[in-house]
Amino acid sequence: MKGRIKNIYKKIIKYPVTIWMVVSLLILSSMYMAFAAYNGTAIVKRVVSTQASSSSSFSSNYMEVYSTNIALKSLRTTNEGDFICPVTVCNYDQLDPTSPAKALINYTFTAELVKYNESTGEYDLVTTVQTKENDTAKTFYVQKIMDNNQTISSDGQHSLNSTGSFSYTYSFESLEGGSTLRDTYNICFDATEVAKDVPDFFIRVSAIPTSESQQQSGVSNLASVISISQGRTVETGWHGSLQETSTTDYDGYNLIIEGSGAGTIDILWDSSKFTMNPVFVEQYGGVGGKLSGESDVTGQTGWKKRTLKVDSANGDNRYVVQFYKAVSGTYTGAEFPSKYIKCENYIQDTEVTP
């Protein structure tokens, strides 16, 4: 044993530089492996603890990220006549509009008139559309109305039911990086389709980023199949409900406001804990807008209020308002977000008789 130790000692004395280089490499390797393991764990934790919506900076109000199965969005309206649904394409996460994509996103937007195939369970592009009683074609169309937040009027209505043409594609669409931007496309359903309890026709919409944009920004394909039917509502009224769970904590939450009739409804929140989506404020606020300015709630310290004008006769019977955490906190168990975000006090408009 002493002889072995003596031999090792002689080798260290004879080759000091080589020995210390080997030892240094072993130490650096161990440190790298430890850092990589820690960093990998941190990444996983960040992914698990983030918000509920798609984490992509390419999103939509009605479309969702998909790989094979495309989401079905079944909408209802209490109004008669053609139904117009605005579909947005945005360069930010729906729950985090303050962090837009840094790079340019190029994409194509397509709207297709489809029918459900019971044999395959798929939605197939239609080959023919029946005519109305007066022999005029049914009305299904797509029209771009907003480009990079700017309202446009140059784009016409592109029919989805003309002979041999049941789809339309907008190519070379783009959203510049660095600013919160959205494009909006109106899709229109024929009045006879709206009146049905079970729809015959659906409109499939998709936004497909170019391969270059997918690589640079890490964005994914968006799509959904949208249907519309007329709800039979006897009484008018509006209400709001918060999408939340008792077990999962998110960075943002959706307040769904829906109903029928005309009037106003109040949105209240604890500003020390949550803030309202500035994009919603920009879209519906301002002079002549549907959303009032922000005011304090009497007797409730830190609470704010905005009043929303609602009128389903205009075709708007559903609003989605996002709220984000003002400070870090956990809202699970008894700490429901709905304790701090409320929608109440619906006041119906009254007709003034002469």
* pLDDT band at 303; cut points 50, 70, 90: very high
288/211 same-domain check = no
CA dist 173 and 333 (Å) reads 44
95 and 169, same domain (yes or no): yes
The closest alpha carbon to 224, from 341, 89, 131, belongs to 89
Q: Are strands 71-77 and 222-230 parallel, antiparallel or unpaired?
A: parallel
For the purposes of burial, counting CB atoms within 10 Å of the CB of 116, is it exposed (0-12), middle (13-18) or buried (19 or more)? Answer: middle
Residue 51 lies in a domain: no
For residue 150, being part of any structural domain is answered with: yes
Q: Is residue 140 part of a domain?
A: yes
Tell me the per-residue pLDDT of 237-281, one tens digit each, with 9 for 90 and over: 788 877 655 445 667 788 888 887 889 999 999 999 999 999 889
Say if residue 175 is in the same domain as residue 252. no
Q: Are 348 and 236 in contact (CB under 8 A)?
A: yes
The DSSP result for 146-178, as a single string, is EETTEE------EESSBTTB-EEEEEEEEE-TT
Pick from 26-30, 203-207, 236-240: least confident: 26-30
Q: Are residues 15 and 69 in the same domain?
A: no
Same domain, 214 and 251: no
Q: 16-49 and 2-14 helices cross at what angle (nearest 10)? A: 90
CATH of the domain at 194: 2.60.40
- In the chain, where does DSSP find H-type helix? 2-14, 16-49, 191-194, 211-217, 278-284
The reply to whether 278 and 209 lie within a common domain is: no
What does the longest C-alpha to C-alpha distance in the chain come to? 117
> For residue 46, is it within any domain?
no
Range of the domain at 245: 237-348
3-state secondary structure of 97: coil
Same domain? For 77 and 214 the reply is: yes
| Conformational region of residue 125, where left means phi above 0, alpha means psi within -120 to 50, and beta covers everything else | beta
The answer on 109 and 180 residing in a single domain is: yes
Q: What value does the mean pLDDT of the chain take?
A: 78
Compute the half-sphere exposure of residue 239: CA atoms within 13 Å on the CB side of its CA: 5
Amino acid 13: pLDDT: 53
CA pair distance 181, 58, nearest whole angstrom = 10
Please give the pLDDT value at position 248: 57
Residue 54, domain member (yes or no): no
Final residue belonging to a domain, choices 186, 210, 230: 230
Which amino acid would we find at residue 9? Y
Does one domain contain both 218 and 248? no
Asked if 219 and 250 sit in the same domain, the reply is no
Tokens at 323, concatenated: 């709220």
Supply the pLDDT for residue 210: 95
pLDDT value at 101 more than 50? yes
Residue 292 pLDDT level (bands cut at 50, 70, 90): very high
Average of per-residue pLDDT across 285-289: 82
pLDDT for the residue 269: 95
Domain termination site, one of 177, 208, 230: 230
| Beta pairing partners, 174 | 106
Q: Which pLDDT does position 39 carry in this prediction?
A: 32
Do 226 and 243 lie in a common domain?
A: no
pLDDT per residue over 38-68, tens digit each? 332 222 222 222 233 334 789 999 998 887 7
Residue 28 inside a domain? The answer is yes
User: 141-151 in b/e burial notation, b at 16+ Cβ within 10 A?
Assistant: bbbbebbebee
Task: Indicate whether 45 belongs to any domain.
Answer: no
Closest CA to 225 of 117, 318, 95, 82: 117
Pairwise pLDDT comparison (265 vs 138), residue with the higher score: 265
Distance CA 184, CA 151 (A): 9
Report the number of distinct structural domains present in the chain: 3
Structural domain includes residue 113: yes
User: What pLDDT is stored for residue 265 in this prediction?
Assistant: 93
Q: Are residues 84 and 226 in the same domain?
A: yes
pLDDT of residue 8: 53
Neighbours of 180 (CB within 10 A): 18
Count of beta carbons in the 10 Å neighbourhood of residue 43? 10
